[in-house]
Chains A and B, each alone.
Chain A
Amino acid sequence: MTGSGTVETDLLAIDPEEAVEAIVASLREIVGKELRRRGAVVGVSGGIDSSVTVALCSRAFGPGRTLAVLMPEADSSDDTLDLSRSVADSLGVQAVVEDITPILEAVRCYERRDEAVRRVVPEFGEGWRFKIVLPSVIGTDAYRLFTVVAQSPDGEQIEARLPAAEYLTIVAATNFKQRTRKMLEYFHADAHNYAVAGTPNRLEYDQGFFVKLGDGAADVKPIAHLYKTQVYRLAEYLEIPEKVRARKPTTDTYSLEQTQDEFYFSLPYEQMDLCLYGHNNGISADELAGLIGIAAEDIHRVYEDIDQKRRTTRYLHLGAQLVEPVPEVPAKAS
Protein backbone atom coordinates (compact mmCIF):
# COMPACT_ATOMS: atom_id res chain seq x y z
CA MET A 1 0.00 0.00 0.00
CA THR A 2 3.01 2.22 -0.17
CA GLY A 3 5.60 3.02 -2.80
CA SER A 4 4.89 3.89 -6.40
CA GLY A 5 1.92 1.59 -7.03
CA THR A 6 -1.72 2.50 -6.64
CA VAL A 7 -3.86 0.83 -3.97
CA GLU A 8 -5.37 -1.29 -6.70
CA THR A 9 -2.04 -2.56 -8.02
CA ASP A 10 -0.69 -3.10 -4.52
CA LEU A 11 -3.63 -5.01 -3.08
CA LEU A 12 -4.41 -6.99 -6.21
CA ALA A 13 -0.86 -7.25 -7.54
CA ILE A 14 -0.20 -10.36 -9.57
CA ASP A 15 2.74 -11.65 -11.56
CA PRO A 16 0.96 -12.44 -14.83
CA GLU A 17 3.66 -14.76 -16.15
CA GLU A 18 3.64 -16.81 -12.98
CA ALA A 19 -0.16 -16.86 -12.81
CA VAL A 20 -0.47 -17.97 -16.43
CA GLU A 21 2.07 -20.76 -15.95
CA ALA A 22 0.25 -22.03 -12.88
CA ILE A 23 -3.15 -22.00 -14.59
CA VAL A 24 -1.82 -23.68 -17.71
CA ALA A 25 -0.21 -26.45 -15.62
CA SER A 26 -3.44 -26.94 -13.67
CA LEU A 27 -5.55 -27.02 -16.81
CA ARG A 28 -3.39 -29.76 -18.29
CA GLU A 29 -3.59 -31.75 -15.07
CA ILE A 30 -7.34 -31.31 -14.58
CA VAL A 31 -8.50 -31.71 -18.17
CA GLY A 32 -5.96 -34.28 -19.34
CA LYS A 33 -5.47 -36.47 -16.28
CA GLU A 34 -8.63 -36.08 -14.20
CA LEU A 35 -11.32 -35.40 -16.77
CA ARG A 36 -9.53 -37.33 -19.54
CA ARG A 37 -10.49 -34.89 -22.25
CA ARG A 38 -8.09 -33.84 -24.97
CA GLY A 39 -8.86 -30.15 -25.36
CA ALA A 40 -11.30 -27.43 -24.43
CA VAL A 41 -14.36 -25.60 -25.71
CA VAL A 42 -14.89 -21.99 -24.66
CA GLY A 43 -17.94 -19.85 -25.35
CA VAL A 44 -16.36 -16.57 -26.44
CA SER A 45 -18.40 -13.39 -26.05
CA GLY A 46 -15.92 -10.66 -26.89
CA GLY A 47 -15.63 -9.82 -23.20
CA ILE A 48 -12.47 -9.91 -21.13
CA ASP A 49 -13.18 -13.09 -19.15
CA SER A 50 -13.93 -15.42 -22.04
CA SER A 51 -11.05 -13.93 -24.02
CA VAL A 52 -8.55 -14.66 -21.25
CA THR A 53 -10.04 -18.12 -20.70
CA VAL A 54 -9.72 -19.12 -24.35
CA ALA A 55 -6.17 -17.74 -24.44
CA LEU A 56 -5.24 -19.82 -21.38
CA CYS A 57 -6.78 -22.93 -22.95
CA SER A 58 -4.89 -22.27 -26.15
CA ARG A 59 -1.65 -22.16 -24.15
CA ALA A 60 -2.55 -25.30 -22.24
CA PHE A 61 -3.77 -27.49 -25.08
CA GLY A 62 -2.55 -25.67 -28.20
CA PRO A 63 -4.68 -23.71 -30.65
CA GLY A 64 -5.46 -26.94 -32.51
CA ARG A 65 -7.19 -28.38 -29.46
CA THR A 66 -9.06 -25.27 -28.37
CA LEU A 67 -12.41 -24.42 -29.90
CA ALA A 68 -14.04 -20.99 -29.57
CA VAL A 69 -17.82 -21.06 -29.93
CA LEU A 70 -19.32 -17.67 -30.81
CA MET A 71 -23.03 -17.49 -29.99
CA PRO A 72 -24.64 -14.13 -30.74
CA GLU A 73 -28.40 -13.60 -30.58
CA ALA A 74 -30.87 -10.89 -31.50
CA ASP A 75 -30.04 -8.66 -28.49
CA SER A 76 -26.24 -8.96 -28.73
CA SER A 77 -24.30 -5.76 -29.33
CA ASP A 78 -23.31 -5.08 -32.92
CA ASP A 79 -19.62 -5.46 -32.08
CA THR A 80 -19.92 -8.77 -30.15
CA LEU A 81 -19.19 -11.03 -33.09
CA ASP A 82 -16.31 -8.96 -34.47
CA LEU A 83 -14.64 -8.74 -31.07
CA SER A 84 -15.04 -12.47 -30.51
CA ARG A 85 -13.58 -13.25 -33.92
CA SER A 86 -10.65 -10.95 -33.31
CA VAL A 87 -9.78 -12.92 -30.16
CA ALA A 88 -10.00 -16.29 -31.90
CA ASP A 89 -8.03 -15.00 -34.88
CA SER A 90 -5.29 -13.51 -32.71
CA LEU A 91 -4.82 -16.86 -30.98
CA GLY A 92 -5.16 -18.95 -34.12
CA VAL A 93 -7.85 -21.13 -32.57
CA GLN A 94 -10.74 -22.49 -34.58
CA ALA A 95 -13.97 -20.51 -34.20
CA VAL A 96 -17.50 -21.77 -34.79
CA VAL A 97 -20.41 -19.34 -35.03
CA GLU A 98 -23.78 -20.50 -33.73
CA ASP A 99 -26.49 -17.85 -33.97
CA ILE A 100 -28.79 -18.89 -31.14
CA THR A 101 -31.67 -16.58 -32.11
CA PRO A 102 -33.77 -19.31 -33.81
CA ILE A 103 -33.45 -21.60 -30.78
CA LEU A 104 -34.47 -18.76 -28.47
CA GLU A 105 -37.45 -17.98 -30.69
CA ALA A 106 -38.46 -21.65 -30.67
CA VAL A 107 -38.56 -21.78 -26.85
CA ARG A 108 -40.36 -18.40 -26.84
CA CYS A 109 -37.58 -16.68 -24.88
CA TYR A 110 -38.28 -13.23 -26.33
CA GLU A 111 -42.06 -13.68 -26.36
CA ARG A 112 -42.31 -14.78 -22.71
CA ARG A 113 -39.96 -12.00 -21.65
CA ASP A 114 -41.71 -9.28 -23.67
CA GLU A 115 -45.12 -10.32 -22.34
CA ALA A 116 -43.82 -9.81 -18.80
CA VAL A 117 -42.34 -6.40 -19.67
CA ARG A 118 -45.63 -5.38 -21.30
CA ARG A 119 -47.56 -6.18 -18.14
CA VAL A 120 -45.53 -3.43 -16.46
CA VAL A 121 -45.04 -1.08 -19.44
CA PRO A 122 -48.10 -1.54 -21.71
CA GLU A 123 -46.56 0.66 -24.43
CA PHE A 124 -43.64 -1.79 -24.86
CA GLY A 125 -43.77 -3.15 -28.40
CA GLU A 126 -42.04 -3.44 -31.77
CA GLY A 127 -38.78 -1.51 -31.91
CA TRP A 128 -38.69 -0.84 -28.15
CA ARG A 129 -35.67 -1.85 -26.11
CA PHE A 130 -35.32 -2.42 -22.38
CA LYS A 131 -33.10 -3.38 -19.48
CA ILE A 132 -33.60 -4.00 -15.79
CA VAL A 133 -31.58 -2.04 -13.25
CA LEU A 134 -30.90 -2.15 -9.52
CA PRO A 135 -30.12 0.98 -7.45
CA SER A 136 -26.70 1.24 -5.79
CA VAL A 137 -26.17 0.39 -2.12
CA ILE A 138 -24.05 3.52 -1.82
CA GLY A 139 -25.50 6.20 0.43
CA THR A 140 -28.61 4.36 1.63
CA ASP A 141 -29.74 1.36 3.67
CA ALA A 142 -32.91 1.03 1.60
CA TYR A 143 -33.76 -2.35 0.11
CA ARG A 144 -33.11 -2.36 -3.60
CA LEU A 145 -35.87 -3.34 -5.96
CA PHE A 146 -35.46 -3.90 -9.67
CA THR A 147 -36.74 -1.31 -12.11
CA VAL A 148 -37.49 -1.90 -15.77
CA VAL A 149 -36.24 0.82 -18.12
CA ALA A 150 -37.98 0.69 -21.50
CA GLN A 151 -37.04 2.91 -24.42
CA SER A 152 -39.32 3.64 -27.37
CA PRO A 153 -37.96 3.74 -30.94
CA ASP A 154 -37.86 7.55 -30.74
CA GLY A 155 -35.84 7.51 -27.52
CA GLU A 156 -38.53 8.15 -24.89
CA GLN A 157 -37.75 6.25 -21.68
CA ILE A 158 -40.27 4.81 -19.23
CA GLU A 159 -39.18 3.47 -15.83
CA ALA A 160 -41.32 1.30 -13.58
CA ARG A 161 -40.73 -0.84 -10.51
CA LEU A 162 -40.89 -4.54 -11.34
CA PRO A 163 -43.34 -6.68 -9.36
CA ALA A 164 -41.95 -10.04 -8.23
CA ALA A 165 -43.80 -12.19 -10.79
CA GLU A 166 -42.70 -10.06 -13.75
CA TYR A 167 -39.12 -9.78 -12.47
CA LEU A 168 -38.84 -13.54 -12.04
CA THR A 169 -40.39 -14.22 -15.46
CA ILE A 170 -38.05 -11.80 -17.24
CA VAL A 171 -35.01 -13.37 -15.56
CA ALA A 172 -36.28 -16.91 -16.19
CA ALA A 173 -36.88 -16.21 -19.87
CA THR A 174 -33.56 -14.44 -20.27
CA ASN A 175 -31.77 -17.41 -18.68
CA PHE A 176 -32.65 -19.37 -21.81
CA LYS A 177 -29.78 -17.49 -23.45
CA GLN A 178 -27.06 -18.74 -21.11
CA ARG A 179 -28.51 -22.25 -21.02
CA THR A 180 -28.78 -22.45 -24.81
CA ARG A 181 -25.18 -21.38 -25.13
CA LYS A 182 -24.07 -24.04 -22.66
CA MET A 183 -26.02 -26.71 -24.52
CA LEU A 184 -24.14 -25.83 -27.70
CA GLU A 185 -20.79 -25.70 -25.91
CA TYR A 186 -21.42 -29.24 -24.67
CA PHE A 187 -22.44 -30.35 -28.16
CA HIS A 188 -19.05 -29.28 -29.48
CA ALA A 189 -17.26 -30.63 -26.41
CA ASP A 190 -18.89 -34.04 -26.82
CA ALA A 191 -18.19 -34.06 -30.55
CA HIS A 192 -14.46 -33.42 -29.97
CA ASN A 193 -14.02 -35.20 -26.65
CA TYR A 194 -13.12 -31.84 -25.13
CA ALA A 195 -13.93 -30.33 -21.74
CA VAL A 196 -15.97 -27.14 -21.39
CA ALA A 197 -14.04 -24.30 -19.80
CA GLY A 198 -16.23 -21.83 -17.90
CA THR A 199 -15.37 -18.15 -17.80
CA PRO A 200 -16.39 -16.65 -14.43
CA ASN A 201 -13.95 -14.39 -12.64
CA ARG A 202 -13.82 -14.31 -8.86
CA LEU A 203 -16.41 -11.56 -8.47
CA GLU A 204 -18.92 -13.46 -10.56
CA TYR A 205 -18.13 -16.83 -9.01
CA ASP A 206 -18.19 -15.59 -5.41
CA GLN A 207 -21.28 -13.42 -5.79
CA GLY A 208 -23.30 -15.92 -7.81
CA PHE A 209 -23.48 -13.77 -10.93
CA PHE A 210 -24.23 -16.66 -13.25
CA VAL A 211 -27.10 -18.82 -14.40
CA LYS A 212 -27.32 -22.28 -12.91
CA LEU A 213 -26.81 -24.83 -15.68
CA GLY A 214 -26.10 -21.87 -17.94
CA ASP A 215 -22.86 -19.94 -17.78
CA GLY A 216 -22.43 -21.46 -14.32
CA ALA A 217 -21.95 -24.91 -15.83
CA ALA A 218 -18.50 -26.09 -16.90
CA ASP A 219 -15.95 -28.85 -16.38
CA VAL A 220 -13.24 -26.45 -15.30
CA LYS A 221 -13.19 -22.72 -14.39
CA PRO A 222 -9.66 -21.45 -15.01
CA ILE A 223 -10.04 -17.86 -13.74
CA ALA A 224 -12.62 -18.27 -10.94
CA HIS A 225 -9.92 -17.50 -8.35
CA LEU A 226 -8.87 -14.22 -10.00
CA TYR A 227 -10.30 -10.78 -9.26
CA LYS A 228 -11.44 -9.00 -12.41
CA THR A 229 -8.62 -6.49 -12.08
CA GLN A 230 -6.21 -9.43 -12.20
CA VAL A 231 -8.00 -10.85 -15.24
CA TYR A 232 -7.25 -7.55 -17.01
CA ARG A 233 -3.57 -7.91 -16.06
CA LEU A 234 -3.52 -11.37 -17.59
CA ALA A 235 -5.30 -10.05 -20.68
CA GLU A 236 -2.52 -7.54 -21.18
CA TYR A 237 0.15 -10.19 -20.70
CA LEU A 238 -1.64 -12.60 -23.04
CA GLU A 239 -1.90 -9.83 -25.67
CA ILE A 240 -5.69 -9.95 -25.93
CA PRO A 241 -6.68 -7.41 -28.61
CA GLU A 242 -6.77 -3.85 -27.27
CA LYS A 243 -10.37 -3.23 -28.33
CA VAL A 244 -11.49 -6.17 -26.16
CA ARG A 245 -9.49 -4.91 -23.19
CA ALA A 246 -10.96 -1.42 -23.66
CA ARG A 247 -14.58 -2.61 -23.78
CA LYS A 248 -16.73 -1.70 -20.78
CA PRO A 249 -17.97 -4.82 -18.96
CA THR A 250 -21.55 -5.45 -20.03
CA THR A 251 -24.08 -8.20 -19.53
CA ASP A 252 -24.80 -8.12 -23.30
CA THR A 253 -28.09 -9.77 -22.40
CA TYR A 254 -30.76 -7.07 -22.61
CA SER A 255 -31.65 -5.00 -25.66
CA LEU A 256 -30.73 -1.71 -23.93
CA GLU A 257 -27.07 -1.61 -22.96
CA GLN A 258 -26.68 -2.58 -19.34
CA THR A 259 -23.51 -2.45 -17.27
CA GLN A 260 -22.82 -5.18 -14.73
CA ASP A 261 -22.84 -2.73 -11.82
CA GLU A 262 -26.31 -1.37 -12.60
CA PHE A 263 -27.72 -4.89 -12.75
CA TYR A 264 -25.91 -6.81 -10.05
CA PHE A 265 -22.80 -5.44 -8.39
CA SER A 266 -22.87 -2.47 -6.05
CA LEU A 267 -19.94 -0.66 -7.61
CA PRO A 268 -17.85 -0.64 -10.79
CA TYR A 269 -15.64 -3.73 -10.87
CA GLU A 270 -12.44 -1.90 -9.88
CA GLN A 271 -13.99 -0.86 -6.58
CA MET A 272 -15.97 -4.09 -6.14
CA ASP A 273 -12.72 -6.05 -6.49
CA LEU A 274 -11.11 -4.00 -3.73
CA CYS A 275 -14.13 -4.38 -1.44
CA LEU A 276 -14.28 -8.13 -2.02
CA TYR A 277 -10.54 -8.40 -1.42
CA GLY A 278 -10.84 -6.29 1.72
CA HIS A 279 -13.74 -8.33 3.05
CA ASN A 280 -11.97 -11.61 2.25
CA ASN A 281 -8.78 -10.50 3.95
CA GLY A 282 -10.22 -9.04 7.12
CA ILE A 283 -9.61 -5.39 6.23
CA SER A 284 -12.09 -3.31 8.23
CA ALA A 285 -14.43 -0.89 6.48
CA ASP A 286 -12.63 2.01 8.17
CA GLU A 287 -9.22 0.81 7.05
CA LEU A 288 -10.33 0.16 3.46
CA ALA A 289 -12.08 3.54 3.34
CA GLY A 290 -8.75 5.22 3.98
CA LEU A 291 -7.15 3.24 1.19
CA ILE A 292 -9.67 3.56 -1.62
CA GLY A 293 -11.55 6.76 -0.92
CA ILE A 294 -15.06 5.42 -0.36
CA ALA A 295 -16.91 6.30 2.86
CA ALA A 296 -16.55 3.63 5.56
CA GLU A 297 -20.32 3.38 5.99
CA ASP A 298 -20.69 2.63 2.29
CA ILE A 299 -17.96 -0.02 2.44
CA HIS A 300 -19.80 -1.54 5.36
CA ARG A 301 -22.95 -1.65 3.19
CA VAL A 302 -21.00 -3.31 0.38
CA TYR A 303 -19.57 -5.89 2.83
CA GLU A 304 -23.12 -6.68 3.97
CA ASP A 305 -24.28 -6.90 0.37
CA ILE A 306 -21.44 -9.34 -0.38
CA ASP A 307 -22.57 -11.57 2.51
CA GLN A 308 -26.21 -11.30 1.48
CA LYS A 309 -25.42 -12.32 -2.12
CA ARG A 310 -23.39 -15.27 -0.87
CA ARG A 311 -26.39 -16.45 1.14
CA THR A 312 -28.96 -15.97 -1.58
CA THR A 313 -26.89 -17.52 -4.37
CA ARG A 314 -25.57 -20.46 -2.36
CA TYR A 315 -27.92 -22.84 -4.11
CA LEU A 316 -26.51 -21.87 -7.50
CA HIS A 317 -23.21 -23.50 -6.53
CA LEU A 318 -24.78 -26.72 -5.31
CA GLY A 319 -25.26 -29.78 -7.45
CA ALA A 320 -28.29 -32.01 -6.98
CA GLN A 321 -28.52 -32.92 -3.30
CA LEU A 322 -28.91 -36.57 -2.36
CA VAL A 323 -31.30 -37.75 0.31
CA GLU A 324 -28.72 -40.35 1.37
CA PRO A 325 -25.04 -40.51 0.47
CA VAL A 326 -23.79 -42.78 -2.31
CA PRO A 327 -20.19 -43.20 -1.16
CA GLU A 328 -19.18 -45.34 -4.14
CA VAL A 329 -19.55 -42.31 -6.43
CA PRO A 330 -17.27 -39.48 -5.29
CA ALA A 331 -18.48 -36.05 -6.36
CA LYS A 332 -14.99 -34.57 -6.66
CA ALA A 333 -12.19 -35.50 -9.01
CA SER A 334 -9.56 -37.58 -7.23
Chain B
Amino acid sequence: MEDAIREFLAANFFLGDDPAGLPGSASLIEAGVIDSTGVLELVGYLEDTFGIRIQDDELLPENLDTIDNVVGFVTRKQQEAGTAA
Protein backbone atom coordinates (compact mmCIF):
# COMPACT_ATOMS: atom_id res chain seq x y z
CA MET B 1 0.00 0.00 0.00
CA GLU B 2 2.79 2.43 0.87
CA ASP B 3 4.43 1.85 -2.50
CA ALA B 4 1.16 2.56 -4.31
CA ILE B 5 0.63 5.76 -2.34
CA ARG B 6 4.19 6.90 -2.99
CA GLU B 7 3.71 6.14 -6.68
CA PHE B 8 0.52 8.22 -6.75
CA LEU B 9 2.24 11.14 -5.00
CA ALA B 10 5.29 10.96 -7.27
CA ALA B 11 3.11 10.84 -10.40
CA ASN B 12 0.95 13.79 -9.40
CA PHE B 13 3.03 16.07 -7.21
CA PHE B 14 6.60 17.33 -7.05
CA LEU B 15 8.39 15.30 -4.39
CA GLY B 16 11.81 16.83 -4.89
CA ASP B 17 14.86 15.28 -6.49
CA ASP B 18 14.66 12.10 -4.42
CA PRO B 19 11.00 10.94 -4.23
CA ALA B 20 11.93 7.67 -2.49
CA GLY B 21 13.80 9.65 0.15
CA LEU B 22 10.72 11.49 1.44
CA PRO B 23 10.37 10.25 5.03
CA GLY B 24 7.11 8.50 5.85
CA SER B 25 6.76 10.84 8.81
CA ALA B 26 7.18 14.10 6.82
CA SER B 27 4.21 16.47 6.65
CA LEU B 28 3.04 16.50 3.05
CA ILE B 29 1.52 19.96 3.48
CA GLU B 30 4.48 21.52 5.28
CA ALA B 31 6.92 19.93 2.83
CA GLY B 32 4.95 21.66 0.07
CA VAL B 33 4.14 18.33 -1.60
CA ILE B 34 0.39 18.87 -1.61
CA ASP B 35 -1.87 21.87 -1.16
CA SER B 36 -5.61 22.04 -0.58
CA THR B 37 -6.39 20.84 -4.10
CA GLY B 38 -3.82 18.09 -3.53
CA VAL B 39 -5.71 16.93 -0.44
CA LEU B 40 -8.82 16.73 -2.61
CA GLU B 41 -6.95 14.60 -5.15
CA LEU B 42 -5.42 12.39 -2.47
CA VAL B 43 -8.84 11.75 -0.91
CA GLY B 44 -10.30 10.84 -4.30
CA TYR B 45 -7.38 8.51 -5.02
CA LEU B 46 -7.65 6.73 -1.66
CA GLU B 47 -11.42 6.27 -2.00
CA ASP B 48 -11.19 4.95 -5.56
CA THR B 49 -8.13 2.76 -5.07
CA PHE B 50 -8.76 1.24 -1.67
CA GLY B 51 -12.55 1.06 -1.70
CA ILE B 52 -13.08 3.25 1.35
CA ARG B 53 -15.32 6.25 2.00
CA ILE B 54 -13.66 9.08 3.92
CA GLN B 55 -16.07 11.13 6.02
CA ASP B 56 -15.66 14.90 6.55
CA ASP B 57 -14.72 14.40 10.21
CA GLU B 58 -11.91 12.08 9.14
CA LEU B 59 -10.19 14.72 6.98
CA LEU B 60 -7.62 15.31 9.68
CA PRO B 61 -3.84 15.78 9.60
CA GLU B 62 -3.45 12.73 11.85
CA ASN B 63 -5.06 10.66 9.09
CA LEU B 64 -3.72 12.30 5.95
CA ASP B 65 -0.72 14.57 6.49
CA THR B 66 2.11 12.01 6.26
CA ILE B 67 2.59 8.83 4.25
CA ASP B 68 2.75 6.84 7.51
CA ASN B 69 -0.53 8.39 8.68
CA VAL B 70 -2.24 7.68 5.37
CA VAL B 71 -1.16 4.05 5.40
CA GLY B 72 -2.32 3.62 9.01
CA PHE B 73 -5.62 5.35 8.32
CA VAL B 74 -6.46 3.38 5.18
CA THR B 75 -5.49 0.12 6.91
CA ARG B 76 -7.84 0.94 9.81
CA LYS B 77 -10.66 1.86 7.43
CA GLN B 78 -10.27 -1.39 5.53
CA GLN B 79 -10.19 -3.39 8.76
CA GLU B 80 -13.33 -1.63 10.00
CA ALA B 81 -15.07 -2.38 6.72
CA GLY B 82 -13.93 -6.00 6.95
CA THR B 83 -15.22 -6.26 10.52
CA ALA B 84 -18.55 -4.70 9.58
CA ALA B 85 -19.02 -6.96 6.54
A residues neighboring B (CB under 8 Å): 135, 141-146, 161-165, 167-168, 308, 311-312
Contacts and interface: CB of A to CB of B under 8 A. Distances in A.
A311 B32 CA distance: 9
B3 interface: no
Interface string B47-85: 000000000110111001000000000000000000000
Contact of A145 (B29, B32, B39, B60): B39
Contacts of A167: 37, 40
Contact of A144 (B36, B41, B57): B36
Given A141-B61, A311-B35, 15 more contacts: A141-B60, A142-B59, A143-B39, A143-B59, A143-B60, A143-B61, A144-B36, A145-B39, A145-B43, A145-B56, A146-B40, A162-B40, A163-B40, A168-B37, A312-B35
B23 interface: no
A35 to B, nearest CB: 34
B19 interface: no
Nearest to A146: B40
B64 A143 contact: yes
A169 B29 CA distance: 23
Contacts of B44: 163-165
21 contacts: A135-B56, A141-B60, A141-B61, A142-B59, A142-B60, A143-B39, A143-B61, A144-B36, A144-B59, A145-B40, A161-B56, A162-B40, A163-B40, A164-B37, A164-B41, A164-B44, A308-B29, A308-B35, A311-B32, A311-B35, A312-B35
A312 B13 CA distance: 13
Contacts of B64: 143
A89 B84 CA distance: 67
Name the interface size band of chain B. Answer: 10 to 19
Contacts of A162: 40
B3 to A, nearest CB: 22
B52 to A, nearest CB: 14
Given A311-B32, A311-B35, A142 B56 contact: yes
B73 to A, nearest CB: 13
Interface of B: 29, 32, 35-37, 39-41, 43-44, 56-57, 59-61, 64
A141 B63 CA distance: 11
B13 to A, nearest CB: 12
A164 B35 CA distance: 12
A145 B36 CA distance: 8
A312 B40 contact: no
Query: Which interface residue of A142, A167, A168 has the most chain B CB atoms within 10 A?
Result: A142
A154 B57 CA distance: 31
A87 to B, nearest CB: 34
Contacts of B40: 145-146, 162-164, 167
